[in-house]
Every structure is written in C-alpha cells, then in structure tokens.
A and B are shown apart, each in its own frame.
Chain A
Amino acid sequence: MNGSTAPKHPLDGLLRTDRIPHIWCPGCGIGTVFSSSLIAISSTGKDPANTAVVSGIGCSGRGAGYVNLDSYHTTHGRAIPFATGMKLANPELTVVVFSGDGDLFAIGGNHFIHAARRNMDLTVICVNNLNYGMTGGQAAATTPHLAKTSTTPRGNPESPFNLPLLAYASGATYIARWTMLHTRDLTQSITEALTRTGFSFIEVLAPCPTGYGRKNRLKATDMLKIYQEKAMVKNGINPAETILDLEHGITLGKFVEYDRPTYAENYKAVCGE
C-alpha cells in the first residue's frame, strides 16, 4: 500500500511507525493487547513523556520495541526489577511492564512476587499465551496440565499457576484477568491500573497459533471461540475461586482493588527524607 494514502492510525503518535512491520504472526493475540495498552495510556491524559515501558524477552516482550515512549527491552525475566530501579530513581514516572507469561512467571517469577509484596508502584501487563511463543512453543509455568507443547510431546505432566491467586497471595493491590477479546474491559482495567498507585497486575489471555495452537490443534479462531464460550465474568470474586480451564471455564474480571502504602511511601515514612 502506498504510505502517503494510508489512513493515519489513531495511535500513530504512540507507535514507533518506523519499526512496523512487527514480528508478530498472523492470528497472534499480542497485537490486540498491545493496542489496548496504547489506548489506555493515551486515555489517561498523562504526559507521554512521563510514561516508560519495560519489557523482558519473548514475543510479548517485543512490545517495548514498538511503543513510541521511553522503552526498555531488558533481559529474560528481569523487566520488573529493572522497572523497580527506574521507578525508585524517578517517582514521577508511570512505569508499565509489558511481557509474557514465561518471562514474568517462570524465569522472572521471583521478581514478580517480591514486587507485589512491596506494592511497588508498577502496572504489570502479562500476555498469557500458555506457552513460550518466541522459542517455538515450549511448556511454560502457565501451560495447562496434559496440554501438548514442543517440550511436553506426551502432554504436560505439570500443573499451571493460577496467576491472579499468585498475585493476590503475593500482595498485589489490583488484579484483573481478561482475554484479548474483551478489549473494552481490558482497556478499562489498564487505564485504572495506570491512574492508581500500587502494584497492579493484569493478565490477558491471547492466542499463540504458531506455538500452543499448532501443537494442540487449535487455530486462532478456535482459541477465540473458547474465550467466548468459556468466559465467566465475575468481578470482585476471591482470586482463590477463579479458574482457567479451557474446558470448564475461564474466570475473568477485576478481582482485587484495595489500597495500602507503596514501597516508596513506606520508605519515606520509615526512613525519612
């Protein structure tokens, strides 16, 4: 298509248009989560110059590379501690972590629970595609029991984390789960997370047709159908009662929102100026 006649995308200002085309496969769900994040960032009305995006490594982690904000594509699993240093060094910044389930909950799981415990003022968006997309569809800490991946060819012998419950037990003060089909709710959750203080966690289910989909004979559209048919929106439900089961149901909603002092507030109160 001729660039000069192409209509301007409403999010062009927040996109690094000179880095498009992106690497994401056709049917991949990451792009939709990424767009919702950009819409949320622009709808807060905050100065974009004061928003930084930090990613780890993975297909989802490439998010940082396409956003026209101060953006940091770090090492595998380490986006949260990098973001922690950045936020503590400049408390004026709104710091968003955008990364994958493998990055945030396998190699980076320890950092997630500690940042939640500290109530570090970060917004963490996790694209959960139930596997390691980037490296070719291996098992993750989110892969359902018995699901096939390239490293669980006979089915996954392990059981996955329930991420909202993990976040709740760790001390996160805002917790929501949506699928990439629920763009309106998702965008609203991200907006709420960005405008509040404290550790906010948003899990978003998104298909990876190339990895998880191919191994489990689920086309992108099949995955979307599951999202639609199995979704049960239960706002305010105790995270311990949420489920993520592609057969029996997927609990979605904003589960948790409460206030307690952030790391920085406690540091100021306890250690003084």
Chain B
Amino acid sequence: MEPAVLTGEHFLNGDVACAEGALAAGCRFFAGYPITPATEIAEHMSKRLPGVGGVFIQMEDEISAMAAIIGASCAGVKSMTATSGPGFSLMMENIGLGIAMETPCVLVNVQRAGPSTGLPTLGAQGDMMQARWGSHGHYEIIALSPCSPQEIFYQTITAFNLSETYRIPVLIMADEIVGHLAERVIIPQSSKISLQSRPRAKGRKDRFKPFHPGANGVAPMAHAGEGYMVHFTGLTHDERGYPAMTADAQAEMIERITGKIQRNLDKIIQVERYRLEDADIALVSYGISSRSSLAAVDEARERGVKAGLLRLITVWPFPEQIVRELAKRVKRFITVELNLGQIHLEVQRCAEGRAPCLLVGHAGGAVITPEDIVKKILEQT
C-alpha cells in the first residue's frame, strides 16, 4: 500500500491537488469520463487509487459516471467524479437522484467557457446557476469554490466532510485557471486532517427507517450488504424509503432534504472577509476571480477608496444573511465573476435595494484583472 496522504510540500496544479485532497479525505472510488480541463483529476486518480486500495473506472459517459459514484456510495465507499461544462450538463439528472436518495458523493466541475462546447481550454465561471438549479425540482445543494491549488486540496476534504455529514452530493465549482495553475501545496500530516463520516444505521434491522432524520435532520444511512434490506428510490418517498405518491409526502420529503441544509447554514457556510470592517465598497467574489479582487482591494485602498472583499468559499447555500448584514452598512456592492451576472443576481436579491449592486463580469476565456476591478471601483467615487 502507498500512503493516501502525501504529507509534505509539493508543486501541484489544482486538478492534481484536488485528487490528492480526495484521497486524503478517504475517497476510494472514482468514476469519470475525460474532459478538458478536468481530465488530470481522473488521470491522477487512475494512477493513485489502486495503491491505496481503491478503484478507478473510466465510464462510457458522464451520466454513467454520476450513477456509478452514487451506487458506490450506497455500498459504503466515499466516491467522486470530476468533469467540466458538457459533462456537468449530462450529470444533472443523477445529481437529483443523489439528492433524493440522500447519498453522499463529491462532484468536481472544473469550469470552462460555455455554452455548448464553448472554449474547452479556457476558464469561466458560467455554471454557477446551473450548479444551484440544474437538476429538476426544488432542492438544496452545497457548492464550494476554490481560488488556488492549496485551497482546492482543503476544499475537497471539506466537500467530503459536508457530503458525509449531510448525506448530500457536494459540488466543487473550480475553473480552468485554478485547475491548471501550478503552485505550492502543503499537505499536512494525516493526523491533522479531520474527517467526518455519514451517520450509520444501528439497532433493529427490521424496524430501521432509512430516511428517518436524526438530531441534525440527517437520517442515519444503511449500506447495501448490511442486512437492513433498505429501499432507495428517486420517486417521492416516505421515511421507510417507500414511494408515496401524494402532495403531502412530497411536501414532507422536500422539507426533509431542504431543511437539513437550511437548519445548519451556520455550520455549512464559510466566507473570508478581507478589509471589510470599514469598507464603503464591498466586492463579492469567489474562485479565481476572488484573487484579482483581493489585489484590487489593496490597490483601491492605496488610492484612498475604502474597499473590501467578501470571498465566498461556500457559494451554495448562498451566504444570504452575511450579504444582508453588509447591505446595511456598505455604499455599494460589486460582484466580480467570470460570467455576465449570476452570483450578482443573488447579491442583488439579498441587498434588497439597500445598496446598489454592480458587476464586473466577463464572458469567459480570460481572467478578470485587478485593473478591471479598480477601474470600476474608481468610477463609483
């Protein structure tokens, strides 16, 4: 056996750092389908998984990759897939299956510019609303957005921990730039990495209800082969997992799968606040765009403008309360993102008209520079 946690200092691109994060988090099953700019994650997993007792499989498409990781997780193994735009679209139906079956798993989207085949080798952040609402029906999702190889390493561990804790598919919304950027990545000792695992079934096997929520709203999980004889379905189901074709059962199930997230927002949502205490202008950004935003804050401050940055580590669920609070004291919001206004819409919604909301957007294929942002900031003063 090879070590799962490669403790030490490395020079890695974001894709490889993500794969190492998954291994450190205990991921032992990966199913994927090649696509630029996410392919290196699959390649690295194919190299590393056999050495740590795991299984890699290249599936026939992204639909089957998503189905396979849910199947593996139902058998008790932490599982992951990675893709980009076109493959992300193909995974949507089975993301919904993972939501309905309350099955932990992690999906990485190394975003490239779309729509359609778009710009395969160039980055964008155009799938943010698809991440939120891309599968049909009403549901909650958790999505994180990393800004560097070091951060994607940690976020992948966080993604597994959240997915296990809340029995939900978790998305890592990276982008081509972070995926292909090589930087220093420090991997800690495995004893320093805290891992969570799903709540597990116990007690009488004949009375077990696989969707009966525990204390934090999350039901303990029984795996295939444990003797609980569970039934999992994508149909609306009751706490036994049995199909229940009524509006009442629907309301109850949707309450269960959304409530477990909504009631734990304070434990799920992570943001970083940079020079926001006295800020007049609050930038809101995430992923690669947040790095340019960070530089723009310092530059604007040097030019006498009190700017600050709210960096979203968790994008979904959206940090609504934090933006609402900020709206009471900042003069303006500027959302910075590699699309033409997606998270911008959320900021607008939460600002509730208290502060004007502006956008530094870009259709994708390049990065937003600090200069682009500073220019917008200075226009406001």
Contacts and interface: CB of A to CB of B under 8 A. Distances in A.
A64 B60 contact: no
Contacts of B55: 88-89, 267
28 contacts: A49-B229, A52-B75, A52-B224, A64-B233, A68-B229, A69-B229, A70-B226, A70-B230, A72-B74, A73-B243, A74-B70, A77-B63, A78-B64, A78-B67, A81-B59, A81-B65, A84-B59, A84-B71, A85-B67, A85-B68, A85-B72, A86-B72, A87-B71, A88-B72, A89-B72, A89-B77, A90-B75, A90-B225
A93 interface: yes
B50 A271 contact: yes
Interface string B216-236: 000000111111111111110
B64 A84 contact: yes
Given A64-B231, A90-B77, A114-B60, A84 B68 contact: yes
Contacts of A19: 242
A216 interface: no
Nearest to A270: B50
A85 B233 contact: no
B71 A86 contact: yes
B31 A74 contact: no
A145 interface: no
B293 to A, nearest CB: 39
Interface of B: 1, 28-29, 31, 50-51, 53, 55-57, 59-61, 63-65, 67-77, 79, 93-94, 97, 101, 222-235, 242-243
B233 A78 contact: no
Interface of A: 16, 18-19, 48-50, 52, 54, 64-65, 68-75, 77-78, 80-90, 92-93, 110-111, 114, 263, 267, 271-273
Contacts of B233: 64-65, 72-73
Task: Find the residue from A65, A83, A90, A111 having the highest chain B CB count within 10 A.
Answer: A90
Contact of A52 (B94, B97, B225): B225
A133 B345 CA distance: 44
Contact of A82 (B70, B223, B230, B242): B70
A103 to B, nearest CB: 13
A93 B68 contact: no
**Per DSSP, are chain A's interface residues mostly helix, strand or loop, or mixed?**
helix
A88 B57 contact: yes
A85 B75 contact: yes
B232 to A, nearest CB: 5
Task: Find the residue from B61, B72, B75 having the highest chain A CB count within 10 A.
Answer: B75
Contact of A93 (B69, B101, B224): B224
A75 B234 CA distance: 7
B80 to A, nearest CB: 11
Nearest to B59: A81
A90 B57 contact: no
Contacts of B234: 73-75
A85 to B, nearest CB: 3
A73 B243 CA distance: 10
A82 B68 contact: yes
Given A82-B70, A90-B223, A90-B224, 10 more contacts: A49-B226, A52-B224, A69-B229, A71-B229, A78-B63, A81-B59, A81-B67, A81-B71, A89-B76, A93-B75
Contacts of A85: 29, 31, 67-75, 79
Query: Which 3 A-B residue pairs are closest in the complex by CB-CB distance?
Result: A85-B71, A85-B68, A81-B64
A75 B93 contact: yes
A146 B201 CA distance: 53
Contacts of B74: 72, 82, 85-86
A73 B232 contact: yes
A64 B233 CA distance: 9
Contacts of A64: 231, 233
B75 A86 contact: yes
Task: Find the residue from A49, A71, A73, A114 having the highest chain B CB count within 10 A.
Answer: A73
Contacts of A73: 231-235, 243
B325 to A, nearest CB: 40
A89 B53 contact: no
A252 to B, nearest CB: 30
Contacts of B79: 85, 89
A69 B51 CA distance: 33
Contacts of A92: 225
A216 B94 CA distance: 35
Nearest to A50: B225
B60 A110 contact: yes
A40 B329 CA distance: 70
Given A81-B63, A90-B77, A272-B50, A75 B97 contact: yes
A89 B75 contact: yes
